[in-house]
Each structure stands twice: as C-alpha cells, then as structure tokens.
Structure 1
C-alpha cells in the first residue's frame, strides 16, 4: 500500500502550493497594512507574499486610477508574477478586485478571504457607505489639496477609532500623515476609485469555491450587514469581530490572521482526507 500524503495540522498552514496576495481598499496603499503583512509572512514563511499597489494610491500615486474594478484587476494581475495559484486576502474595495479576479480567472485563485466589503447588487447605497462617515469624509476633503492631515485623521476616526486615542494611535496617525504628504493622492483618482466601487456587481454565486467573509460589527464606514448579505447569498462562512472597526487588519491583526489560518488549515486537512481516501480506494 502506498504511503499516504502527510496532512498534519502543523504543515497545513505552511504549505507552499500557493502564493499570498494582499489587496487594500479605497485610497489606501500597501503601506497601510501595518503590522499585518509581516505577521502573514511569519505565518506562512514558505509562501511568497505579494502586495501590489493600485495605480493612483501610495507608491503609485502619480499614475491614473482605473475607473472600473475589472481594469483594476488587470493592473493588479500584471504585478503578481507567479505560476502558482494565489490566496487573496483583501479588504473593502480590494475585496471587489479579488472577487472579479476569481470570477474571470478561476484557475488562478485558490482561496478568497474578503474583509468588510460590499457589492452594489447585494446592499443599499447607505449600507455600503454609511451617511455619517460620508459627510465626515467630505468635510475633511475640503483641505485635501493643501494638507492631507485632516483627511487622514477623519479616515482614522471612521475606520479605526472606537474610543479615546492612545499614544500608539497617535504615532500611527502621524505615520499616515507623513506618508500621505510624501505620496499625495489626487482627488480625481479618489473619485475614479469611488465610481468603480459604486458600480461593481458581484456574481450571484461565489466566484471561488473556498471563499470566506470577515466583518467588524463596529464598522462605521461599511455596515457589517453587507458582509452578512454576501455570506447568505453565496452560502459561505462569515466570521465576525464584535469590537473592531472597518480596518480590522490594523485593529486586531492577530485575531484576523488566526481566523484565516484556521480556515486554510481546515481546507487543507479536508483535501488531504479526500486524497488519502482516494489513494486507499485505488490500492
């Protein structure tokens, strides 16, 4: 009898059969993953980590942002040079790109882990961008061209802050402001991204067999019910964080990584069990 493939839980989360891609959202850069990206590398050291940058944001701020999610997908794919399938971890608008990627190129995407996102055909406009957050961001945007500090403070308030600022919070906001001044985002690019996100409609069924949804119940930007609607429509897992805001990877990176690792380990073990049974049956 042939020896079965080793499928222990210890190697389930370190398998090198796929690369990992991190995708951020509206007017955010890979810079804004903060401590989450290094934690991903530590969790899966055998896997290559890709952090593509959307044109118009961060390190690509001088480029023109695409005006559709599908065009964003094309640009992102061009930056991920690999022959392996990918596990995509994506937040907000980045999750829309991930969804489109999996739908159009299904053999390239092994897993989807979508965080605090929404789709035009599964939520109301005021759920996708909650009115209070919209008004706050519009007020801050008046000073965008002269100094991004007000906008970055407001983004923090709407995506992270749930209580009084701690010293560590002040340091992070300061880093955000410095980065924004060094990599200024054009208002025209922000509008193009908002236009693309507002029109994106997801497929009626999940585009990837292994799709997992994560939502923060205290999200002040995107109503967590959007994630609930997606999970119900697609009949896939929904994991919720009771106290975090929109930027879940920043607020509780350990919790999020643990949940993702658990889902991947369960998937790997299930696949190994199936393969082992098939091998035994063939003997």
Structure 2
C-alpha cells in the first residue's frame, strides 16, 4: 500500500494553474472520501509562457518545456507515488515526463490529448483550427471568449469571466501561443510506457476528435473513460465526474483497500 500519492495537475495550451478553478480541492476531497488513510498532495505548476511563468519565452519544442517544468516539480519521496494528470497539451507533457523521466513518474492520466502520430484533422478538428487561428488575431478579451466557447459545451458564465480575469492579470503573448502550438504539434510517442495510466475523453469534444484518445489508450494498453456530453475542457463542464473518475482510478491502482 502506498503511504501517499502526489498528484501533479497540468493544464493545456495557453492555460495556467488558476484555470483548474476548484478542481484540485474537489479531487482532494473525493480522494479523502475513498481512502481517508492515504496522504494526498496536489501541485499545479505552470509551463513556461503561462501563469506564474507568463513573462518567460515558451519553447517551440515540447521536450524543452518538459525539461523546464521538471526543475519546478515537488521533490519525489520514497514513500509516495507521483501521478501526473494532464489536460490536452498538459497530457502531452505528462507523457513526455513518463517517457524521459521514468524514475520521477509512477502514473499518468491523460485527458483529451493527441499526439503527432495521429492525423492532423483529428488532433484539431478543421473547424476548430479555423476558430483558433481567427482567435489569435483578436483582442485579448475576444480571443478568450472565442476559445472558451470552443472548449466548453456548458459554458458557465462564472468560468467565462474567470478566464478573462486570469488572462488580464497574466496575459499569454501571441508569440508564446504560436510557440506552444508548434510544440504540441511536433510531439510524437513512438514507444509504450512502463507506468500505469488512464486515458479520459469527451465524446462531444469539438476541438480534438475523441478517437484520438481511444487510439492512444489502445496503443498504451491503458483503460479509457469517456464522458458522453462534456466538451474539451472537462474540468469546466463536469468537474465532479472527472474528480470521481480520477480518484477511483488512483485508489484502485495505488492503494490496497
């Protein structure tokens, strides 16, 4: 039985830790309900160019983003497992961490991610690509609103306003967004991973074709969980469902009840 589980939450392209809103606390409570005798910790580091790192230049290579992030991760201890939960591009960084820093990562949860091994028109649906490129040219508030409409199917107004407030405080530059797009586009996964893993998909994702998650799960021989109606940003559209799925998997795989 693991004495503790360290969970690292990574957000997607152009997003930061604050975009999780209350999800980390929700996941922490759900884990404590299922396994109250296990110590869970949560960290939400930002990638270069976003959040606390928004004034830094983002790399156009995903491996360099990963290498930079590793230096800011919590120190791994012998009595705890480390599981990286990544949404979209955060999932790609999680996979790269597991591949190249195997000793630091015990498990991975990938949410609505795709790799360069898959067709471009599934990695980013053509209409979504057009919307994203259009959004890049818009003023900041309109850009955020445009992307929010694309990734959320429920579109709660509180979250929409939260997105704008976050970007107003720590704006991600257009140039950094382009670099991050290139980094995500160039990442491929050409080998299976030793760690345990879980793939989560949204059936009605309008940004990334849900088949990408199915193919990734099949390739890695990891289980697949599918939400029937949420959009790309599951933590916004149904955080309770996502917290339950992740918590149940964590306890099932790393805790002996």
- Do Structure 1 and Structure 2 share a fold, with TM-score over 0.5? yes
Instruction: Tell me the equivalent position of 2:179.
Output: 192
Larger CA deviation: 52-61 vs 77-86: 77-86
Secondary structure of residue in 2 paired with 1:249: helix
String of CA shifts for 1:161-218, please: whole Å, max 9, x gaps: 35xx5xxx2222122112212211111111111111101001331x243111000000
Is contact 1:109-1:208 (8 Å) kept? no
The answer to whether 1:128 aligns with 2:123 is: yes
Q: What displacement does 1:96 show?
A: 0.7
Q: Which residue of 2 aligns with 1:276?
A: none
Q: Is the contact made by 2:27 and 2:244 (CA closer than 8 Å) also made in structure 1?
A: no
Match of 1:220 in 2: 206
* Stretches of 4+ aligned residues off by more than 4 angstroms: none
Give 5+ residue unaligned stretches, structure 2.
33-38
Distance 1:25 1:135 in 2: 19
Q: CA deviation at 1:135?
A: 1.1
Matched with 1:3 is: none
TM-score, normalised to structure 1's length?
0.83
Q: Distance in 1 between matches of 2:20 and 2:254?
A: 26
Q: Which residue matches 2:11? A: 24
Paired position in structure 1 for 2:36: none
Q: Contact (CA 8 Å) 1:129, 1:221: kept in 2 or not?
A: yes
User: Could you tell me how far 1:259 is from its partner in structure 2?
Assistant: 1.1
Equivalent-residue separation in structure 1 for 2:162 and 2:253 (angstroms): 37
- Equivalent of 1:48, from 35, 41, 47? 41
RMSD: 1.7
2:96 is aligned with 1:104? no
1:181 matched to 2:174? The reply is no
Consecutive unaligned residues of structure 1, counting only runs of 5 or more, are 1-6, 8-14, 274-283
Alignment-derived partner of residue 111 in structure 2? 115
Q: Which has the larger radius of gyration?
A: 1
> 1:124-172: per-residue Cα shift (whole Å, max 9, x none)?
00110111111112222222xxx3111111111110035xx5xxx2222
Note if contact 2:31-2:247 (Cα within 8 Å) is conserved in structure 1: no
Contact 2:27 2:247 in 1 (8 A): no
Deviation at 1:44, TM superposition (A): 4.3
1:1-283 map, 5 Å: 16-44=3-31, 46-84=39-77, 85-121=81-117, 123-143=118-138, 147-162=139-154, 169-205=156-192, 207-268=193-254, 272=256
TM-score of the superposed pair, with normalisation by structure 2: 0.91
Distance 1:193 1:182 in 2: 20
Q: Which moved more, 1:35-44 or 1:228-237?
A: 35-44
Secondary structure at the aligned position of 2:106 is classed as: strand
Q: Cα distance 1:175–1:268, how it changes in 2: closer, same or farther (>3 A)? A: closer
* Cα 1:131–1:217 shift into 2, 3 Å: same
